[in-house]
Amino acid sequence: MTFSMGKARGTYPIVLQTNMVHNFDKIADEAEAKEFLMEYNSTAETVWNAYTEASWAYNVNITDHNRQIMLEKNLEMSNHTLQNGLKARQFDPTDFQDPSIKRILKKLSDIERAALSEAELKELTASSQDMETTYSVAKVCKEVSCKALILN
């Protein structure tokens, strides 16, 4: 791990032990961040698809039961966004090389606006065949509230 004094921000301890990175308890391992984002992407797709299905089911068959399921799935989606936002905040991307990893982490960390833009999802799933699905589901997530939990 390389360490650059020049990049240190804010106050800094005088004594630097081995393994210390920019922030004491933050993860500065880019590979780990990438793994987290890939995991996030696959779980997000599952959660968003579940919500989309529930939403369609309600729209074609408006019952209290179907509405309840839709709301539950919406909550799960919000929770997923929230949990992953908190996790994203555990990383210190200062020295990361890949600008898209930096940008997506930053975006996820901003929990109130954590729903990724279509362009970012596209970027994250560029090599995935499921891109189109994720892309359209992301749209749903943007149009419907993905923040129900946070705003409570």
Ligand X SMILES: *[C@@H]1O[C@H](CO)[C@@H](O)[C@H](O)[C@H]1NC(C)=O
Size of the site for ligand X (CB under 6 A): 7
Q: Which of 49, 66, 100, 133 binds ligand X (CB under 6 A)?
A: 66
Choose among 121, 141, 136, 112: nearest CA to 51.
Answer: 141
The CB-of-80 to ligand X minimum distance in angstroms stands at 7
Q: Which of 42, 49, 79, 128 binds ligand X (CB under 6 A)?
A: 79
Which amino acid appears at position 55 of this protein? Answer: S
Query: Rounded distance, CA 59 to CA 124, Å?
Result: 30
* Contact criterion met (CB below 8 Å) for 148 and 75: yes
The CB-of-76 to ligand X minimum distance in angstroms stands at 6
Contacts to ligand X by CB under 6 A: 61, 63, 65-66, 76, 79, 83
